[in-house]
Amino acid sequence: MNCSMANFSSYIAWRYLFSKKGHNAINIITCISAVAVAVVTAAMVCVLSGMNGMGALAEKMFTAFDPPLLVVPAEGQTLRTDTTPVASLYAREDIACISMQLEQLTLVRYEDQQAPAHLLGVDSLFTRTADIEPLIYEGRFCLWDGAHYGAVMGNEIAETFHLSTRFKHAIHLYAPKRTRRINMNRPDLSINEEKAFAAGLFAGEQDGTINQTVIVPITLAQQLYEYDEYTATALRIMPRDKSKIKNLKSQLSQALGPGYKVLDRYEQKASYFRIFRIEKLMTVLLLAFIALIAIINIAGSLSMLIIDKRDDSRILSHLGADVSTIRRIFTFEGWFATALGTFFGLLAGLILCLCQQQYGWLQMGNGNSYIVSAYPVEVHATDILLVAGIVLTIGFIAAWVTTRKIQIDK
């Protein structure tokens, strides 16, 4: 009985949706409201797909510099490679390469200019854990030429100093002495200084931290910060089988114990991806609010339709339909209008996104200023379901609330 009444209610509601109303204004308002829902739905699909594209682009860019796995101390800044848990990693057959790195802040001076920078000291195995060669736009990746230390610098630091690899002046690196107290009478005696020559310049993945990095040999960094050869801030891990990174990460975490953290690429950029997820959530909520405003118009046209069909409701009541059945009819009516707008909005959004993927209509700029020329778009089925669920749920609730006050006069 309930199923048949539901079918009856949906059939009447579908007829009402396309039938001629007593006032043309109802038809016009309903059409405009459905179009507004379609526009908002299409906008939600396009915006979320655009954010997915930017997220996917960021993931691809991070893989160029960040190692598949990074071992860092759970507490403090440094770890030692001569301790038992860490030393045991070098004997594992499922690890292809382990590279040491020492990362700290430093002050860089070139002639009469100076600027803060991130100093990254790396060993000779660094290039096996980072694909940095494609990022170098001038010079080459060389940290020792047989006589002098070399430095490979991010483009922001290079632009600050108007630096080129053709220049022959040394780059001076400064750091406070870690093992001594500051001499207030002679502060200059409390600072360590090392120098290197610019061997290469690279442009990172539009990440300010990377572009402000100076890569030097780890021996130079250890001397600058007064560490011995077994001290590093992290170990860069390259697995033999990249398809088993999750398993290797879990095994390394158990082998190293609670004193160390093993981070994958997502965890190395945890703050970025956390902000990205928050931005996506806020975007969904904002667009859902706009969808609510559009659906309120459908609720308004539904209220007018209830008044317009008052005589029909009275006739249905005499034929045996109770109040709940009549309310259900108008609830379906409002929901169908929302569903039509949602369907065409999803269709329009998908078409726009697919065209952007295929033809790249929306350009990010001219020339080579951007990594990609067209705005990246990536459609996820979960986002389509999410958008449809949000809009249809809001539409159903709005229609249900609107029909709660229906009363049938005998």
User: What is the DSSP track for 323-392?
Assistant: HHHHHHHHHHHHHHHHHHHHHHHHHHHHHHHHHHHHH--SB--STTSSSSSBPP----HHHHHHHHHHHH
pLDDT given at position 1: 44
Residue 87 shares a structural domain with residue 232: yes
End-of-domain residue from the set 250, 267, 284: 267
Is 215 in contact with 122 (CB distance < 8 Å)? yes
Q: Which amino acid is at 279?
A: E
CB atoms within 10 A of CB 208: 11
Residue 38 shares a structural domain with residue 100: no
Residue 227 shares a structural domain with residue 110: yes
Residue 86 shares a structural domain with residue 202: yes
- 320 torsion bin: left (phi>0), alpha (psi -120 to 50), beta (else): left
**Secondary structure of residue 55 in the 3-state scheme:** helix
Model confidence at 219, in pLDDT bands (50, 70, 90)? very high
Q: Is 410 domain-assigned?
A: no
Is 74 in contact with 379 (CB distance < 8 Å)? no
The percentage of the chain sitting over the pLDDT mark of 70, rounded to a whole number, equals 84
| Weakest-pLDDT range from 83-87, 185-189, 201-205 | 185-189
Tokens matching residue 398: 């709005």
Rounded to the nearest 5 percent, the helix, strand and coil shares of the chain are 55, 20, 25
Model confidence at 118, in pLDDT bands (50, 70, 90)? very high
Residue 87 shares a structural domain with residue 163: yes
How many whole angstroms separate alpha carbon 137 and alpha carbon 109? Answer: 22
End-of-domain residue from the set 225, 243, 267: 267
Model confidence at 119, in pLDDT bands (50, 70, 90)? very high
Residue 141 shares a structural domain with residue 255: yes
pLDDT given at position 125: 93
Tokens matching residue 5: 């009444």
Q: Kindly state the average pLDDT of the residues 298-309.
A: 76
Residue 115 shares a structural domain with residue 196: yes
pTM above 0.75, yes or no: no
Q: Residue 99 above 80 pLDDT?
A: yes
pLDDT tens by residue, 316-364: 776 667 777 777 877 887 888 888 899 999 999 999 999 988 888 887 7
Q: Residue 32 above 90 pLDDT?
A: no
Q: Is 353 domain-assigned?
A: yes
pLDDT given at position 338: 87
pLDDT given at position 293: 86
In which residue are the tokens 């709940």 written? Answer: 324
Tell me how many domains the chain contains: 2
Q: Residue 3 above 60 pLDDT?
A: no
Residue 188 shares a structural domain with residue 255: yes
Q: Is 326 domain-assigned?
A: yes
Which of 305 and 129 is assigned the larger pLDDT? 129
Residue 236 shares a structural domain with residue 250: yes
> Vertex 66, ends 64 and 70: CA angle to 5°?
155
End-of-domain residue from the set 249, 267, 285: 267
Residue 210 shares a structural domain with residue 91: yes
Q: Which domain does 257 fall in, by range? A: 69-267
Q: Residue 134 above 90 pLDDT?
A: no
Q: Kindly state the average pLDDT of the residues 230-243.
A: 92
Average pLDDT, the chain: 84
pLDDT tens by residue, 254-287: 999 999 999 988 888 887 788 888 888 898 888 8
| Weakest-pLDDT range from 11-20, 25-34, 259-268, 270-279 | 11-20
Tokens matching residue 378: 């990536």
| Weakest-pLDDT range from 24-33, 125-134, 221-230 | 24-33
Which of 185 and 366 is assigned the larger pLDDT? 185
Q: Is 168 domain-assigned?
A: yes
